[in-house]
Amino acid sequence: MTQFLWKPLLSVAVTVVLILQLTMLPAIAEELLPRPDPQFNGKIGITYKQSESDPNLLKPIQAPKDAPNILLVLIDDAGFGSASTFGGSIATPTFDKLADNGLRYNRFHTTALCSPTRAALLTGRNHHSVGSGVIQEMASGYPGYTGLIPQSTATIGQILQQSGYSTAWFGKNHNVPDNQTSQVGPYQRWPNGLGFDYFYGFIGGETDQWYPTLFENQNPVEQTVFPEDGYNLTHDLADKAIAWIRYNESIAPDRPFFAYFAPGAVHAPHQPPQDYVKKYKGKFDHGWDKEREIIFERQKKLGVIPANAKLTPRPEAMPAWDSFSPEDQKILARQMETYAGFLEYTDHEIGRVVDAIDELGDLDNTLIIYIDGDNGSSAEGSLIGTCNEVLNLNGYNLTMEDNRRCYEYWGSPETSPHFAVSWAWAMDTPFRWTKQVASYFGGTRNATVISWPAKIKDTGTVRDQFHHVIDIAPTLLEVAGITEPRFYNGIPQKPIEGVSMAYTFDKNGEQAEDRHKTQYFEMLGHRAIYDQGWMASAFHNRYPWITSGTFPFDEDKWELFNLEEDFTQSTDLSAENPKKLTELKQLFFLEGDKYNVFPLDDRFAEKVDVTLRPSFTLGRDHFDLYPGMAHIPEGTAPNTKNVSHSITADLIIPENGAEGTILAMGGTTGGYSLYVQDGKLHYHYNWFDLERTDIASDTSLPTGKVKVRFDFDYDGGVGKGGTATLYVNNRKVAQSPIEKTVPGRFGVDTMDVGADFQAPVSNQYQPPFKFTGEIEKVTIDIK
């Protein structure tokens, strides 16, 4: 009898469970991404005539009704006082127009460095929380510094993509670990893997604007239009963004788009079209000290800083303008003219993207966030500037005489320039210090504008609530009507650590109380803590232009500022209020522990060494390379620096001879090339475009199968010289000393077999200088 009772009870129980699952599914789906597959609600019979289809199974995911399009713009290395929109001397009409039709934010903050800011922007979490405490090239084996965005922190791209948005990323990445940047991947942390349907840009931290190293999705882009044809990267990026937006609107007009536009500008190298540089001829002859005063007064008149704000003094470590001779001031002014032209040109190209959206009739419901800098302006160009910034990153400095030689072609394809430290300080007016210095707003406060015609009506006004780059992701989710997922790909998610800024969009948003109450800052030992209007700051004694060395942390002096009365951190109150300082210092340690800030590490060049991190090349001494292998990033290429090595190539030379590149690594800023020209075998070594060694065989190469070899017998040490020898079919054909070698990085160009893509290593040929014979194999042996 019992068996007849439990069967109907079991049936009822199963039915109840199924009903509960179905009723709970929408709620669960809100917390799970990707969303579960839709339930079939049709009818299945033996044949289609007895069945009912459910077309909902075929529908793509749809975004919430009226979800806006989103254009997120992130400029690189621009200071608070650079753009005209916030009182600067550089014309930024697009930024101005968006501000006049939107809101200016004068207390918006970044992390003080590029990769960390970008990781925080994408995830809505603090940079150490997502393993991005420093740039990718300096990653280490601590949770806050791995360079690996965790799977527990889904990006805004992933969330929007899985919620019905079309997503695309244009420009700079710098969130892929250095050892994962080649075509063998892995690709999980490339833009496509981070939720972007389409990517067109560069993976590393910077690239040449004339000869960029580009990828389209995961495929390298071979340059077909060159500087002499009018090519420049930012224009190319704008073209691609416009084409993608138009395509999306033509094919799927009801599907909102998220376009992340992150040009490499105005990060060094400063390389804009010369027409924009000429606009600023003579505009900065008065120098950086006077320039700060001019910007400061303009900022007050514009209302982007309070009337009681104080202009902070120049740090003693930075030279005064008047300390330079008129001849030297001429080249220093040229540096600033080039930077100014670069920023105006970039703003113009962004304007083209905005205009394209307007022409489609979509501007009204497009949220545009324009952040003028991922940190403060960069003081990494030395005290006198440089026409080869890669040399500075390797720990060397040019002389003013070297810079003067570059005057006429500063910013051209022949240079890789950066301006003097004090210009960066001027661009960060009215604040102290620059990029890297997370303890002061010169490193972390960036001018920001938000425009959304359909929703923001209190246009042309200033918002002074304290906000941080981690607040962008939750803002986008709120305006799109999308819930933050608790699970992504089955992995529990860390809660987003930022707060939405959407409350400031209201008509009365100007009076709204701050919602971002506490925020820590830390970068390369510079640190600070903000809490409800107060800030404690510790400047660590390594200047941004010093690339090596370490300094004691316990000698750093903490300062205290009341930001409600002191907009620019001009007045230290630590002596008057030591109790408050102690309280904030303790809070810094609590926040630091919470967000993976420790251990503090101020090393810079010491951590860039590629041998410090796991890679596919580490520990290997033999490499076989084949034709067609190109665009291999330096961080994943065979490393021949500071060691003896050989390069052997098996060639087939046709009857009419051959020429072109056999193997090239690097570009104009530094590198080497093994090539054939006028029938002869050459090896060219480029030491930062300052010293070049070209070795050539005494006779032409024979036809048929030929084995050529380059041997380098290294003297030992770091960045030293050695003896270079060329062989053809095992016969020595040339030998020469190379006095100096690049110790750290050649720059942003890549390794190529059978061509020299991007900027050429040698000044004896033009890229791509493809090899016209046949290459069977190229072998590199480390000795």
User: Residue 14: its pLDDT value, please?
Assistant: 41
The first and second tokens of residue 443, run together, are 């490193």
User: Residue 5: its pLDDT value, please?
Assistant: 43
Q: In terms of Cα–Cα distance, which of 776, 744, 773, 780 is closest to 664?
A: 780
Give the DSSP letter of residue 416: B
Rounded Cα distance, 231 and 487, in Å: 44
Rounded Cα distance, 719 and 697, in Å: 26
Cα 284 to chain centroid distance, Å, stands at 28
E strand or H helix that includes residue 577: none
pLDDT, tens digit, 9 for 90 and up, residues 601-626:
999 888 887 778 888 888 899 999 99
Residues 247-267: what's their mean pLDDT?
Answer: 97
Radius of gyration of the chain (CA): 28
pLDDT, tens digit, 9 for 90 and up, residues 396-409:
989 999 999 999 99
Decide if pLDDT at 156 tops 60: yes
Rounded Cα distance, 669 and 208, in Å: 10
Provide the 3-class DSSP secondary structure of residue 502. Answer: helix
State the amino acid at position 201 in one-letter form. Answer: G
Decide if pLDDT at 220 tops 70: yes
Q: In terms of Cα–Cα distance, which of 360, 196, 165, 337 is closest to 262?
A: 196
Q: What do you get for the CA distance between the two ends of the chain, in Å?
A: 86
Q: In terms of Cα–Cα distance, which of 18, 19, 32, 24 is closest to 61?
A: 32
User: Residue 28: its pLDDT value, please?
Assistant: 52
The first and second tokens of residue 371, run together, are 């952040």
Rounded Cα distance, 213 and 206, in Å: 9
User: Residue 609: its pLDDT value, please?
Assistant: 77
pLDDT, tens digit, 9 for 90 and up, residues 432-457:
999 999 999 999 999 999 999 999 99
Q: Using 50, 70 and 90 to split pLDDT, how confident is the model at 21?
A: very low
**Residue 34: how many other CB atoms lie within 10 Å:** 16
The first and second tokens of residue 291, run together, are 């320039």
Decide if pLDDT at 12 tops 90: no
User: Residue 358: its pLDDT value, please?
Assistant: 99
pLDDT, tens digit, 9 for 90 and up, residues 118-143:
999 999 999 999 999 999 999 999 99
Contacts of 11 (CB under 8 A, 6+ apart): none
Q: Are 383 and 545 in contact (CB under 8 A)?
A: yes
Top mean-pLDDT range of 77-91, 395-409, 504-518, 542-556: 77-91
- For the chain, the average pLDDT equals 95
The half-sphere exposure of 554 on its side-chain side, counting CA atoms within 13 A, is: 0
Provide the 3-class DSSP secondary structure of residue 347. Answer: helix
Provide the 3-class DSSP secondary structure of residue 24. Answer: helix
Beta bridge partners of 388: 416
Domains of the chain (ranges, CATH numbers): 69-447+456-499 (3.40.720.10), 617-782 (2.60.120.200)
Q: What is the dihedral of CA 376, 382, 387, 388, to 10 degrees?
A: -90
CA-CA distances (angstroms) from residue 158 to 35, 122, 265, 370, 473?
Answer: 12, 9, 26, 21, 11
Residues 660-680: what's their mean pLDDT?
Answer: 98
Rounded Cα distance, 419 and 272, in Å: 14
Rounded Cα distance, 361 and 370, in Å: 20
Rounded Cα distance, 400 and 323, in Å: 13
Q: What is the 3-state secondary structure (H, E, C) of 242-264?
A: HHHHHHHHHHCCCCCEEEEEECC
Rounded Cα distance, 269 and 456, in Å: 37
The first and second tokens of residue 624, run together, are 């076989």
**Residue 325: how many other CB atoms lie within 10 Å:** 8
Axis crossing angle, helix 472-480 with helix 114-123, rounded to the nearest 10: 30
Q: Using 50, 70 and 90 to split pLDDT, how confident is the model at 2?
A: very low
Contacts of 729 (CB under 8 A, 6+ apart): 702, 706, 707, 708
Residue burial 271-299, b: 16+ Cβ < 10 Å; e: rest = bbbeebbeebeeebeebbbebbebbbebb
**Residue 370: how many other CB atoms lie within 10 Å:** 26
The first and second tokens of residue 487, run together, are 């699970």
Q: Are 192 and 218 in contact (CB under 8 A)?
A: yes
User: Residue 479: its pLDDT value, please?
Assistant: 98
The first and second tokens of residue 166, run together, are 């079309």
Please give the biggest Cα pair distance in the chain: 109
